[in-house]
Chains A and B, each alone.
Chain A
Amino acid sequence: MDRRIYGLETEFGLTYVPSDGRRLTPEDAARHLFKPVVNWGRSSNVFLENGSRLYLDVGSHPEYATAECDHVKQLIAHDRAGEAFMLDLVDQAEDQLSEEGHEGRIYMFKNNVDSAGNSYGCHENYLIPRKIEFKRLADMLIPFLVTRQLLCGAGHLITEDDQTKFVFSQRADHMWEGVSSATTRSRPIINTRDEPHADAEYHRRLHVIVGDSTMSETTQLLKIGATDLVLRLIESGEIYHDLRLENPIRSIRQISHDFNGQTVVRLMGGDEPTALQIQWILFESVTEFVKRHGAHHDQVDRVLELWERTLTAIESENYSLIDQDIDWAIKHKLLHGYAQKNSLELSSPRLAQLNLTYHDIDPARGLFHVLKRRGLVSSVVSDADIRDAVENPPATTRAAIRSKFIRAARANGRRYSADWVHMKYEDEPGGIVLCKDPFAINDPEVDKLIDLMGQRP
């Protein structure tokens, strides 16, 4: 697809740190956090005026799902907008708690594991043509996704046999199956739940839950941009190297744990390339594809440049090439630099704290943001882009219709409900419209509902 619909859903970690000794459970903290949401939308699961969804998930994880985006930069801005919404909720909740006599701070983490080994995700959604044979999709995509952590893992510290080491991915140790339809019991790499939120005759929704949550915008650009390019390869129907893995789940963990990228991965065909070699093969196939077919958007060159530079950095063990652009490399530099300066082991509690607070979304306090303020990490979008995404939906997708509907309903004080494909004016019998096309930017049926909502006294 030359133009694809993307969506990112992020579950955030949440903890309350009391300064007065009075603890709060995550459930209590989450309840306080979502009070303004419930006041605004009469539910803890609401669609916002920028087209996104804000939701209190299973296990008290605040979750933000971006509106439908059709360009990777737009997606990045909308994902950052989600952090802005969460931060505002934190602000309000801390005020509320203070009024109730609790003094403390709420932390929200854009990461994938808590301290007890519970995992939660960052889910990517890609609209793909229905006609792609699922087996081909899985065969070509899984090797890419299993090794993709070399590009966009968040970096993590794990302790095994009393040894603490730095690994590529937070999420890798929590994946259980290659392909599946459930998402709570099993943790598949790709998900086939076929609610496309589109016309099922033409499209299917690819749901990827293997990715680490991403702090760095350039890492996000690479993660989404490279995946989109590999999907184009798959969609082309052209024949590529058979990179099918014998045991994707075992490989994904081994690759994460081997920071040199030299772990060999056994393919079904018997070959044993390293994870790095697999990524190089895919990179070269994609580069060659782009040479033949052209770049389909204005960030392709940037994606390819960063992809190549990241693989080169791993190959030469020269992480300074990417220590402003790739999450695990930024974090690796931070953790090792701090450990060295303070003569600490990686196993020290302070290092665990750094590993965690790298993901703190508070721009005044989170360590990724400390680095950003000092000009030590790169950006893709501006603060103005993010502010725009907080207020406004993408103008080029169905989110624009949903936004218009919700704004009109609220401006006129009307009861309404909305989900990804439906818009309903509750007071109008039969006042429900189904919008199947995520690329549509206006709908006459929705406009009729909007007129009705404006008319009645």
Chain B
Amino acid sequence: MTQESFSARRNTQNQAAENEQVQVNTTGQSAGVDDLLDEIDSVLESNAEEFVRGFVQKGGQ
């Protein structure tokens, strides 16, 4: 498969994510960390236990 057969959507999504380089707050390390933690919370599935427990596959090689 080549770039052409790829959905363009994800590539543009990535581009947007890359362009928004978040500046790490250098004046307040704590504020930067809080910002990071907020972002983490915003991307995680809300039910942690169910998410983790639901991930089961057979072993591979």
Contact = CB atoms under 8 A, between A and B. Distances in A.
Given A337-B33, A373-B21, A374-B24, A121 B54 contact: no
Contacts of B52: 115, 349, 352-353, 356
A383 B9 CA distance: 17
Interface string A112-124: 0011101111010
Interface string B1-33: 111011101100110011011101000000001
A49 B10 CA distance: 20
Contacts of A11: 60-61
Interface in A51-109: 54, 57-61, 63, 85, 87-88, 91-92, 95, 107, 109
Contacts of B9: 91
Nearest to A369: B17
A61 B59 CA distance: 9
Contacts of B49: 349, 352
Contact of A363 (B17, B39, B58): B17
Interface stretch (A13-21, A137-145, A222-230, A304-312): A13-21
Contact of B60 (A61, A87, A352): A61
Given A373-B17, A374-B22, A40 B57 contact: no
B1 to A, nearest CB: 6
A183 B60 CA distance: 9
A114 to B, nearest CB: 5
B57 A114 contact: yes
Contact of A391 (B3, B14, B51, B53): B3
Contacts of B22: 373-374
Q: Determine which residue in B2, B3, B21, B37 has the highest number of CB atoms from chain A within 10 A of its CB, and name it.
A: B2
A87 B55 contact: no
A363 B40 contact: no
Given A40-B1, A59-B60, A338 B40 contact: yes
B17 A375 contact: no
Interface in A1-35: 11, 13-15, 17, 26
Given A58-B61, A184-B61, A370 B33 contact: no
B60 A95 contact: no
A58 B58 contact: yes
Contacts of B3: 387, 390-391
Contacts of B58: 58-60, 118
A364 B6 CA distance: 18
Contacts of A353: 44-45, 48, 51-52
Given A364-B17, A370-B39, A375-B24, A88 B7 contact: yes
A178 interface: no
A354 interface: yes
A234 interface: no
A251 to B, nearest CB: 22
Contacts of A352: 48-49, 52
A209 interface: yes
B61 A36 contact: no
Given A370-B40, A383-B18, A390-B3, A17 B61 contact: no
A168 to B, nearest CB: 21
A48 interface: yes
Nearest to A375: B24
Contact of B10 (A26, A48, A88, A114): A88
Nearest to B51: A353
Contacts of A87: 10
A374 B36 contact: yes
B57 A17 contact: no
Nearest to B16: A364
Given A91-B7, A338-B37, A118 B54 contact: no
B44 A118 contact: no
Interface string A311-333: 00000000000000000000000
Contacts of A279: none
A196 to B, nearest CB: 18
Contact of A123 (B1, B39, B61): B61
Contacts of A354: 40, 44
A350 B36 contact: no
Contacts of B59: 58-59, 118-120, 184
**Residue of B9, B18, B22, B55 most packed against chain A (CB within 10 A):** B55
B55 A13 contact: yes
B56 A341 contact: no
A452 interface: no
A449 interface: no
A348 B48 CA distance: 9
Contacts of A123: 61
Given A121-B60, A354-B44, A390-B3, 5 more contacts: A17-B45, A58-B60, A373-B17, A375-B21, A376-B36
